[in-house]
Amino acid sequence: MSLFNVYPLFDVTPVKAKDVYVYDDNNIEYLDLYGGHAVISIGHAHPQYVKAITNQVKQLGFYSNSIQNPIQLALANKLKQLSGCHDYNLFLCNSGAEANENALKLASFHTGKSRVLAFKNGFHGRTSAAVAATDNPNIIAPLNAQQNVDFVDLGDLETTEKILKKKEVCAVIIECIQGVGGLDESTTHFYQQLQLLCNTYNALLIVDEVQSGFGRTGDFFAYQKHNITPDIISIAKGMGNGFPIGGILIANHIQAKFGLLGTTFGGNHLACAASLAVLTVIENEQLLEHVRQMSNYFIEQAQSISQLKTVKGRGLMLGLEFDFPIQSLRQHLIYKHQIFTGSSKNPNLLRILPPLTVKKVHIDTFFNALKHELNDA
Ligand SMILES: Cc1ncc(COP(=O)(O)O)c(C=O)c1O
């Protein structure tokens, strides 16, 4: 049987990995500044993570959500401690799209309304409502297009209010820093006013932290820089360091009811053990502070690249914008220099999403390769 051919693939076959390095089937070492699309948070095969998963699978890998599972509670408590999100409850699922799907569904249940307001260039996943709230017509099937979603320019409060005034909107969904869209972020004034508008017009504010959460920006959540209090926060990617897990943090004022949300695999023992290990390592290795330091260093080094237009993003969710398409540069970085980087909707933006454990020496390696490719040495 062939594989359903939906992914354009690089000709690299990773078979093992350690911290920021990935090794292919010929034992060639690659520097991973992409983190498998912002997924690797504490580094590949972190010993504490491997141990936690190994021990858990030996004990109990899975049982359904019909029994007591103390690891879910331990995860919720650790998440509360590290994120500072005290007035929330946790619902666990399996991916970023599923997190947003549940967030949107919950907003609709809670408000009794059905329209969604989303932002241009936003990405929220590929399931029903999540993909309908994603600004990319190519991935929205006619089935998904039945959802009622309005797309507004990031930062446009006037249009946002006009749409919210119609009173049919159950949720406003937003990435505080857009990932796939190309690392745009609006002002603190905008995010604060957006929250006020949501409160005024009884719409829930869903902040999608699937990519930007779990320390990637140097804050636990990217929205925290703007001093807002979302009604729902979606999480996934860095949460499991590669183990599939997602979830939503749900503000206390939103009532739970048996059967309102549910999943077979979400919150299973193994996934919770993986995520708990991730949080423990983030805490023990003080990775948030480390991310801030490495980010500053990266941005400093970027100043020496004369062809660079701007550095976008925060923490280790960064983009280097040039005034030419980066596609072939990215290929040269992989095939000639063995460095993984990322792309985005903006063809001129090279995305940098390394494991949060990346060190100065790795950043130096990257800039040397970049200068070599740009004849900027
Ligand atoms: C901001 C954001 N939300 C949601 C998703 C969807 O996550 P998943 O691919 O785990 O469904 C992504 C994936 O890239 C994302 O970047």
CA of 364 to the centre of ligand 1 (A): 29
pLDDT at 375 (0 to 100): 86
51, 57 contact by CB (below 8 A): no
Residue 151 has which token pair? Answer: 């797309």
Neighbours of 70 (CB within 10 A): 9
Whole-angstrom Cα distance, residue 35 to residue 152? Answer: 30
| 177 CB within 6 A, ligand 1 | no
- For the chain, residues classed under CATH 3.90.1150.10 are 14-43+287-373
pLDDT at 376 (0 to 100): 66
CA of 228 to the centre of ligand 1 (A): 22
In SS3 terms, 224-283 reads as HHHCCCCCEEEECHHHCCCCCCEEEEEECCCCCCCCCCCCCCCCCHHHHHHHHHHHHHHH
CATH number of 14-43+287-373, picked from 3.40.980.10, 3.30.70.20, 1.25.40.10, 3.90.1150.10: 3.90.1150.10
- For the chain, residues classed under CATH 3.40.640.10 are 47-284
128, 144 contact by CB (below 8 A): yes
Whole-angstrom Cα distance, residue 54 to residue 59? Answer: 9
In the DSSP assignment, the letter for residue 16 is E
| 211 CB within 6 A, ligand 1 | yes
CATH number of 47-284, picked from 3.30.590.20, 3.40.640.10, 3.40.390.10, 3.40.50.720: 3.40.640.10
Whole-angstrom Cα distance, residue 154 to residue 146? Answer: 23
Tens digit of pLDDT for each residue in 48-60? 999 999 999 999 9
How far are the Cα atoms of 195, 296, 361 from residue 218, in angstroms, in the given order? 23, 11, 19
Tens digit of pLDDT for each residue in 242-268? 999 999 999 999 999 999 999 999 999
Residues whose CB falls within 8 Å of the CB of residue 46, separated by 6 or more in sequence, listed in order: 19, 241, 277, 281, 357
Tens digit of pLDDT for each residue in 128-158? 999 999 999 999 999 999 999 999 999 999 9
Three-state DSSP at 320 gives: strand
CA of 210 to the centre of ligand 1 (A): 6
Q: What is the pTM of this model?
A: 0.98
157, 190 contact by CB (below 8 A): yes
* CA of 209, closest atom in ligand 1: 1
Q: Whose CA is nearest to atom 3 of ligand 1?
A: 124
The parts of the chain modelled with pLDDT lower than 70 are 376-377
CA of 345 to the centre of ligand 1 (A): 14
Q: Which amino acid is at 110?
A: H
